[in-house]
Chains A and B, each alone.
Chain A
C-alpha cells in the first residue's frame, strides 16, 4: 500500500487544510493526477500525486488541518505484471507502468499548458444533464469535481449554478488569459488565502532567512545589448502572443550558469547538498501585496520560448492562487526581478533552505566604456545574495561571470 502524505510545499510550510478530495475511493490514480485541494498559507493548491494505483481509502476528511507528512490516503499499487517503459522525459526517472490494468492509453508528456485538456480526455465519464453541461461549457465551469444531486447522482443545472455562486473564481481562472472583456467581469477576488496568513508566511520565512543565513552580496553590471538585440530579432517574426520578455532570457541564463556553478543550486541542511534538477523559483508579486514563488522546473533544459510559455501560464495562475503542488516548494534557486520602471538594483533575501538568490534591477541605458570607447548601452545591475555557510565569494563571483557570459552570447542559450 502506498501512503499518500500531506506534501511540503516549501520549507516554511508546517501544515495544510484538506479542502476537497478530487478522487474518491475506487478511483484509478495516475501519475500527475490532481488528488486533492489543500489550503496553505500560500493559497489553495492543487495537489498532484506521483504514484499510480487505485485509491483505497481517505484517511483525512475534508476540512481537516494536518501537519506536513500526515498520511492523507492509501493508494493500492497496481500489480506488477508487465512493465512498460514509458518514453523517458528528461529529468525524470523512467516510470514503470502496468499496462493491462490501466484502461486508458498512456498519454505522452506535454507542456504544462495543454495539461487541462489532457486531464479532460482522461476523465471518467461524468453523468451530467445536457442542460447543465451546456451551461457549464458556456460559462467555462469545471464540473469534474462536483457531486450531482439529480437522477442517479447526475449533475443538474442547479448544481452548476450553485458552483458558479460558490466558486466564481473557477470560472474566471479557466478562461484564457486574455479573455473577452465585454463579458461583464464578475466582481470577485481569487480565493486568496487569509491575507494575514500569506503575510505571516512571508514574515516567518524571511525572518528565518535573515536570522539564520549569513548572506554575502555580490554585484555586477551586465551589458544587455546582445541579449536585447537577440530578443528584438526573435520578436519581430512573432505574433504578439508569442513575444518574449527579457525575463525569459534571464531565467534561462541563470539556469545555465547554475549548471556551471552547481554549488549554488543546492540547499543547506547542516551541510551543502547539491540538487540534481535546476528548478528556478520566480518571485511573483501580487498587486495587493505579498509574493508567491512558483517554480520553473528543469529550466536549464527548456528553450527560452518554452520558459516564456510557462510564465504566461504560471503568472496569472499564481496571482489567482491556482498553483499546483509541483509548482511550489520544489525550487532550488530563486530569481527576483524588479522589471522596467523600477529600482536600479534589488538585494534579495535567500529563501531557506536554498543557498542563493539572484536579483535583477531595471534594464536601463547607461554610459558604458568598451574597448576604450564610451557608448550608451542597455545594462542591468545583477546582484547575488548567497549563503556564506555553503559557499564563498569566489563561487558567487564565478556564477555572475557565467551568467554574464550567457547574456553576451544569447545564441548559446
Chain B
C-alpha cells in the first residue's frame, strides 16, 4: 500500500508542472504573471527561481498573441504549457485555439500535430463577478480536434497535465480556482492518469450522478448525505469532456436506470445536454425516469456571495433533486 499525503489542489497542480519540467526539457510554462509574480493564483510560485526564465516565461497581456506563440512552439517541436489566467480571457485566444490548434492536423493532411497544453483557471465561487466566472467547458467541448479535460479531483490535478503532455494533439485543461486551497489526501506516488475515460468515483445502484469539475466533490458529498437516507447513488466524474467517454455513464445507467447530470455551466447547449441526449439515444430502454439536470442559472454570474451561490447547483440542491427523483 502506498502512503497518502495531504495536498492542496494548488500544490497538486504545481507538483505536476514541476515534474513535467523535470522530465522533459522541451516542456516550458508560459503565461501572464506565471514567473515573477508566481502566477495569478500562485500555482507557479517558486518555479521561476527553480527553472529560470527560459522555461517559466512571463508574457504580455495578449491572449491571442501568446497562445498563438505556444501553438507555434508546439509545431516547432516544443511541449509548451500555456496558462491562460482565466477561462474568461481565453475568448480572446479562441481564434488561435480553434482555427489553428484544433484544425492544423486536418488542414495539413495529417502532417502537423499540435502538442500544446493550454491550462485555464475556471469556474465561479470567488466573487469575481460576471466577467471572471465563466464556465466555458461546453464551448471547447464542441470543437473537433481538441481534447478537453476537466480537473475535478486532486488526483487529476496531480496527474492530468502529465498525461496531456504525452498527447500529440492540443489539450485544454480546465482547472477550478475555487478549489485551489482545498486539501485532500492523495497517494504519495500519484502521477500520470488516464485521460480517455470517465471515472466512477462512488458505486451505487439507485441513480447515476454524472458531473465534472466543481460538481465532483459536491456530488460526492451529496451522495454521502443521501446514503444516510438510504439512497445509494453512483457518482461519475466525466473528466474527459471531449472526446466524451459515454460508455462509462451508459454502463452505469444500465445498472441504476436513472440519471442526474450536474454542472455549473448554463443549461442550454451544455455538457449536460450532450450527456442527456446520448443517454436518450443509446440507453432509452434502460431509463426508468426522465434524465434530469442541475445546471447554472442562465444569468450573468452575480457578484454578491449569496447570489453567486444560488446561481450554480449546491450540495443541498443535489440532495433535494435526487430525493425527489427517487422518492416522488
Interface string of B282-318 (1 = CB under 8 A from A): 0011111110000000000000000000000000000
Chain A interface secondary structure, helix, strand, loop or mixed?
helix
Q: Is the CB of A132 within 8 A of B328?
A: no
Q: Is the CB of B286 within 8 A of A151?
A: no
Q: Is the CB of B328 within 8 A of A151?
A: yes
Tell yes or no: B192 within 8 A of A by CB: no
Give chain A residues whose Cβ lies under 8 Å from the Cβ of B257. Answer: 129, 131, 157
Q: Which of B288, B324, B325, B328 contacts A131 (CB 8 A)?
A: B288
Give chain B residues whose Cβ lies under 8 Å from the Cβ of A154. Answer: 289
Cα distance A369–B286 in the bound complex, in angstroms: 72
Cα distance A158–B285 in the bound complex, in angstroms: 15
Which size bracket describes the interface of B in this complex? 10 to 19
Q: Is the CB of B288 within 8 A of A149?
A: no
Cα distance A25–B190 in the bound complex, in angstroms: 64
The verdict on A131 contacting B290 (CB below 8 Å), with A151-B325, A151-B328, A157-B257 known, is no
Cα distance A149–B324 in the bound complex, in angstroms: 12
Q: Is the CB of B328 within 8 A of A129?
A: no
Which chain A residues in 134-168 approach chain B with CB under 8 Å?
Answer: 134, 149-152, 154, 156-158
Cα distance A156–B207 in the bound complex, in angstroms: 14
Tell yes or no: A303 within 8 A of B by CB: no
> What's the least CB distance linking A101 to chain B, in Å?
33
Q: Is the CB of A130 within 8 A of B328?
A: no
Which size bracket describes the interface of A in this complex? 10 to 19
Nearest neighbor of A148 in chain B, beta-carbon distance: B328
Cα distance A157–B254 in the bound complex, in angstroms: 13
Nearest neighbor of A128 in chain B, beta-carbon distance: B288
User: Which of A130, A132, A149, A157 is the most central at the interface, judged by chain B CB atoms within 10 Å of its CB?
Assistant: A130
Give chain A residues whose Cβ lies under 8 Å from the Cβ of B328. Answer: 149-152
Give chain B residues whose Cβ lies under 8 Å from the Cβ of A150. Answer: 288-289, 328
Give chain A residues whose Cβ lies under 8 Å from the Cβ of B325. Answer: 151
Q: Which of A129, A149, A152, A158 contacts B287 (CB 8 A)?
A: A129
Nearest neighbor of B253 in chain A, beta-carbon distance: A131
Q: Is the CB of A134 within 8 A of B285?
A: yes
> What's the least CB distance linking B250 to chain A, in Å?
13
Cα distance A156–B284 in the bound complex, in angstroms: 14
> What's the least CB distance linking A135 to chain B, in Å?
9
Which chain A residues in 102-132 approach chain B with CB under 8 Å?
Answer: 129-132
> What's the least CB distance linking A318 to chain B, in Å?
36
User: Which of B257, B285, B288, B324 is the most central at the interface, judged by chain A CB atoms within 10 Å of its CB?
Assistant: B288
Give chain B residues whose Cβ lies under 8 Å from the Cβ of A129. Answer: 257, 287-289
Cα distance A114–B288 in the bound complex, in angstroms: 30
> What's the least CB distance linking B299 to chain A, in Å?
27
Give chain A residues whose Cβ lies under 8 Å from the Cβ of B288. Answer: 129-132, 150, 156-158
Cα distance A151–B291 in the bound complex, in angstroms: 11
Which chain B residues in 234-293 approach chain A with CB under 8 Å?
Answer: 257, 284-290
Nearest neighbor of B324 in chain A, beta-carbon distance: A151
Give chain A residues whose Cβ lies under 8 Å from the Cβ of B285. Answer: 130-131, 134
Nearest neighbor of B287 in chain A, beta-carbon distance: A130
Give chain B residues whose Cβ lies under 8 Å from the Cβ of A134. Answer: 285
Give chain B residues whose Cβ lies under 8 Å from the Cβ of A152. Answer: 328
Nearest neighbor of A129 in chain B, beta-carbon distance: B288
> What's the least CB distance linking A109 to chain B, in Å?
35
Give chain B residues whose Cβ lies under 8 Å from the Cβ of A158. Answer: 288
Cα distance A176–B289 in the bound complex, in angstroms: 31
Give chain B residues whose Cβ lies under 8 Å from the Cβ of A156. Answer: 288-289
Cα distance A408–B284 in the bound complex, in angstroms: 62
> What's the least CB distance linking B321 to chain A, in Å?
12
Give chain A residues whose Cβ lies under 8 Å from the Cβ of B290. Answer: 151
Nearest neighbor of B284 in chain A, beta-carbon distance: A130
Give chain A residues whose Cβ lies under 8 Å from the Cβ of B284. Answer: 130
Nearest neighbor of A155 in chain B, beta-carbon distance: B288
> What's the least CB distance linking A127 to chain B, in Å?
11
> What's the least CB distance linking A344 to chain B, in Å?
58
> What's the least CB distance linking A195 to chain B, in Å?
39
Cα distance A131–B258 in the bound complex, in angstroms: 10
> What's the least CB distance linking B73 to chain A, in Å?
51
Cα distance A380–B204 in the bound complex, in angstroms: 69
Give chain A residues whose Cβ lies under 8 Å from the Cβ of B287. Answer: 129-131
Cα distance A134–B288 in the bound complex, in angstroms: 10
Cα distance A154–B289 in the bound complex, in angstroms: 8
What are 14 residue pairs bridging A and B, where the CB atoms are less than 8 Å apart in the complex?
A129-B287, A130-B284, A130-B286, A131-B257, A131-B288, A132-B288, A150-B289, A150-B328, A151-B289, A151-B325, A154-B289, A156-B289, A157-B257, A158-B288
Q: Which 8 A/B pairs are nearest by Cβ-Cβ distance?
A: A131-B288, A129-B288, A134-B285, A157-B288, A156-B288, A151-B328, A130-B287, A130-B285
Q: Chain A residues in contact with chain B, CB under 8 A?
A: 129-132, 134, 149-152, 154, 156-158
New A-B pairs, 5, CB < 8 Å, besides A134-B285, A150-B289: A131-B287, A131-B288, A150-B328, A151-B290, A157-B288
